[in-house]
């Protein structure tokens, strides 16, 4: 499951549009291709603790379990069958958690970090930012009524395989959770 989702060169992860009035009861995030074709939704299992990426066909593509250790969020990612995909952990405590260390099920490490402190862009690299090439980028923007909704455009280089892309897409969901759900920075960028 999720082969189409994690085989693309770019994926958009965004908060769904919602009305200004009334309580919203839909998915936390939507995943679509760059043309806007919906691919999956991020649904809440237990608010603040468990999230599931569900394909439009109803199959589970990814599960994300949330934990915190001394205000340092960490996430365990598994696929639809329960096999480990990897982990993501914040490098710093909330509310200044702007980088996630990613560890794939195979033990390979990636880093998702802002390109500069005030940047709207994050880079995916195999190691420390200055020492390794960029394997992917994540660009955030605000949209919707009053620019209160967030959108992340995730672009991959050809060097990232489907398993690494799955980990990166999951980590972007984690990044959003750190920024908006778990009490991280509420800045729109």
pLDDT tier at 99, thresholds 50, 70, 90: confident
- Which run of H or of E encompasses 4? helix 3-6
Query: pLDDT (tens digit, 9 = 90+) per residue, 105-126?
Result: 998 899 998 888 788 899 999 9
From the list 15, 16, 55, 60, the residue with the least C-alpha distance to 39 is: 55
pTM, to two decimals: 0.88
Query: pLDDT (tens digit, 9 = 90+) per residue, 47-80?
Result: 678 999 999 889 999 999 998 766 778 899 999 9
Predicted local distance difference test score (pLDDT) of residue 4: 78
Distance CA 147, CA 25 (A): 20
Confirm if 152 and 136 have CB atoms less than 8 A apart: no
Architecture of domain 3-181: Beta Barrel (2.40)
Tell me the mean pLDDT in the region 7-27: 84
Predicted local distance difference test score (pLDDT) of residue 118: 80
The Cα angle at residue 189 between residues 147 and 10, in degrees rounded to 5 = 95
Please tell me what DSSP assigns to residue 17.
Answer: P
Bridge partners of residue 109, in order along the sequence: 103
Boundaries of every domain in the chain:
3-181
């Amino acid at each position: 499951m999720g082969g189409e989702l994690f085989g693309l060169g770019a994926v958009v992860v965004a908060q769904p549009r919602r009305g200004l009035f009334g309580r919203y009861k839909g998915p936390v995030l939507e995943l679509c291709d760059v043309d806007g074709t919906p691919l999956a939704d991020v649904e809440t299992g237990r608010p603040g603790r468990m999230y599931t990426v569900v394909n439009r066909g109803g199959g589970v593509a990814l599960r994300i379990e949330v934990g915190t250790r001394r205000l340092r969020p960490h996430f365990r990612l598994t696929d639809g069958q329960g096999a480990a995909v990897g982990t993501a952990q914040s490098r710093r405590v909330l509310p200044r958690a702007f980088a996630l260390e990613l560890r794939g099920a195979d033990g390979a490490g990636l880093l998702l970090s802002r390109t500069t402190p005030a940047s709207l862009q994050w880079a995916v690299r195999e190691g420390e930012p200055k020492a390794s090439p960029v394997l992917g980028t994540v660009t955030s923007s605000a949209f919707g009524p009053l620019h209160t909704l967030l959108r992340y455009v995730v672009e991959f280089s050809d060097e990232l395989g489907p398993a690494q892309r799955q980990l990166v897409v999951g980590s972007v969901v984690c990044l959003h959770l750190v920024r908006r759900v778990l009490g991280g920075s509420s800045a729109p960028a």
